[in-house]
Amino acid sequence: MTGYYDYILGLIPLALIGITGTLVFAGLQLTTAVPMAAGVSALLTGHALFVNGPSTPAPVHRQVRNSGPSDAAPAPSVLDAD
């Protein structure tokens, strides 16, 4: 299943190569087209990191339930052989 970050990882090189090629084809010099395309790739990376940043899910707290009655005597920790 593809998610947001999978799309971002695919769009970064696609933007870098595709925008550079489009701008060169449109008549800009390569030394101008590459930094412009790199800026778009940097914006995609910045959006993925800071605007829609990765986060860890909140921890789930579970309640511990005893299986025995609550008023039962605790089990001895050491076995008495006398």
Q: So what's the pLDDT on residue 59?
A: 73
Q: So what's the pLDDT on residue 72?
A: 60
Q: Could you state, in chain order, the average pLDDT of each consecutive group of 10 residues for the chain (82 residues)?
A: 87 96 96 96 92 74 63 64 66
Q: So what's the pLDDT on residue 67?
A: 61
Question: What is the rounded distance in angstroms from the CA atom of residue 26 to the CA atom of residue 18?
Answer: 12
Other C-beta atoms within 10 Å of 33: how many? 19
Q: So what's the pLDDT on residue 3?
A: 87
Question: What is the rounded distance in angstroms from the CA atom of residue 77 to the CA atom of residue 46?
Answer: 58
Q: So what's the pLDDT on residue 17?
A: 96
Q: So what's the pLDDT on residue 55?
A: 75
Query: 49 with 66: CB under 8 angstroms?
Result: no
